Structure 1
Amino acid sequence: MTSEALWALGRGTGITALGFLTVSLALGIATRSGRPLFVLPRFAVADVHRFAALAGTLLVMLHVGLLFFDPYAQLRIVDFVVPFIGAYRPLWQGLGTLAFDVLLVVIATSLLRQRIGLRIFRAVHWATYALWPIALGHALGNGTDTDRVWFLAFAGCCALIVAVVLVWRLRANYTEYADAQAGRS
């Protein structure tokens, strides 16, 4: 595979991962409300949230793997673990590394959810509120499409979706699922 193809696939998987992670974050917040989203029942929203998270995670893994083999990106194994030491745009690449590291911790706690308990799982899952803007910063700073209108529109839509769902989440009348259940008893 030529380096141009690796670069294009690496970029494409990164952009698509941002979209899936945006959907996952938004639906994760919606799932906690206990309310149906549009016409979907809560379990369907949770299923789509999990699917989007898994798809986004797989796309991030492809993104990292493809760029690792791309000679232009010049990634080393240490660049996947230690942020801000990369050869190409170290600050922006470091944000990607930081987002990747947080994603690995969230994945590990998701896989160990039954063993670590719901309280620890939820505490670590709150890290996704930091993961998403770090990943967006990585995309905007390290991406080679940041001068393209379509990419800026895509990133803007992702940011708008997250901003709207966060405003909804922070509203005083937002009801957590547990609170809604307790009120029904």
Structure 2
Amino acid sequence: MTNEALWALGRGNGIVALAFMTVSVALGIAARSGRPLLALPRFAVSDVHRFAALSATLLVALHIGLLFLDPYAKLRVIDFVVPFLGAYRPLWQGLGTVAVDVLAVVVVTGLLRQRIGPRVFRFVHWATYLMWPVAMAHALGNGTDSDRVWFLAIAGCCAAIVAASLIWRLRANFSEYADA
């Protein structure tokens, strides 16, 4: 595989991972509400949320794996774990590392959900509210397509979806607050 192909596939997987992460965050908010979403019952919203989260995780793994193999990216194994050490745009790459580290913790706690209990699971899952904007900042700051109209349209749609979900979640008539 040529360097250009690795670079293109790595970037593309990162962009699609951001889209799946956006869907996962939005559906995670919807699933927490206890209400059906459009025509989907609550269990279906949860299932699609899990599928989107797993897809995002696999796409992130492909993103970093492909860029690790790409000689242009010059990634080292330590760059996947310790943020802000990268050779290229260390701040923006470091934000990607922070997002991956948080993602890893969320995945591990998801796998251990039955053993750690719902309170710890829920507390750690709240980290996704921080992970998503960090991943978005990484995409905007480190992405070589961040000045392209098509990428800005995708990023804008992702931001609008998460913003709308959060506004919906924080409304006074949100079902968790109905009895308050």
The match for 1:9 is 9
The match for 1:133 is 133
Distance 2:141 2:2 in 1: 25
After superposition, residues 15-164 of structure 1 pair within 5 angstroms as 15-164=15-164
Distance 2:147 2:159 in 1: 17
Structure 1 length-normalised TM: 0.95
Q: Provide the secondary structure at the position in 2 that maps to 1:85.
A: coil
Q: Provide the secondary structure at the position in 2 that maps to 1:140.
A: helix
Kindly tell me the number of residue pairs found equivalent between the two proteins: 179
Distance 1:80 1:104 in 2: 11
Deviation at 1:147, TM superposition (A): 1.2
Deviation at 1:108, TM superposition (A): 0.4
Structure 1: unaligned runs, 5 residues or longer: none
Distance 1:117 1:173 in 2: 28
Instruction: Give the residue type in structure 2 aligned to 1:139.
Output: A
After superposition, residues 164-175 of structure 1 pair within 5 angstroms as 164-175=164-175
Using the aligned pairs only, state the percent identity.
76
Q: Provide the secondary structure at the position in 1 that maps to 2:175.
A: coil
Structure 2 length-normalised TM: 0.98
Structure 2: unaligned runs, 5 residues or longer: none
